[in-house]
Amino acid sequence: MPNPAAGRFGRLSWLWLSVLVLVLDQASKFYFEGSLSLYQQIVVIPDYFSWTLAYNTGAAFSFLADSSGWQRWLFALIALVVSAVLVIWLKRLGRNDTWLAVALALVLGGALGNLYDRIVLGHVIDFILVHWQNRWYFPAFNLADSAITVGAVMLALDMFKSKKSGEPVHD
């Protein structure tokens, strides 16, 4: 049910943040794909942080990456459905729901960035590699993944804040 305090377009003005995430994500992927060869590493902070180029045909942490290709369309469909839900959710937010609007816009921008890669390229371009010495490596990721993660953490914090303060959890 729409929030009467949301106005006609709710918090859809925050879609500019989603577009910014999408543009920065695609620009960074274009840059690194043109600058690095596959799996090449450029050390930024020795023992901790490198740029690298990797292609992920799966989901987070390369989940289902070894499948025969059907996962591309499954993950694209999931991203489309989630994106539609996020836009509807943004539209229904009230004027005071800025924190939640930012969180949803970040997740939406990241989802659209990876969706574009998945549909157009058949894989997601990753280029950020966090590691500890040469002993532990976190899976490579990109700006879209970072935006999704920050947005998800903000959503979780909002839920905990709402429960702790007695406010209703946002719809």
User: Which residues are known to be catalytic?
Assistant: 126, 145
> Who contacts 121 (Cβ-Cβ below 8 Å, separation ≥6)?
55
The amino acid at residue 45 is I
Cα–Cα distance for residue pair 161/50, rounded to 1 Å: 35
Query: Chain centroid to CA 139: how far?
Result: 15
Q: Enter the DSSP assignment of 127.
A: E
Cβ atoms < 10 Å from Cβ of 63: 13
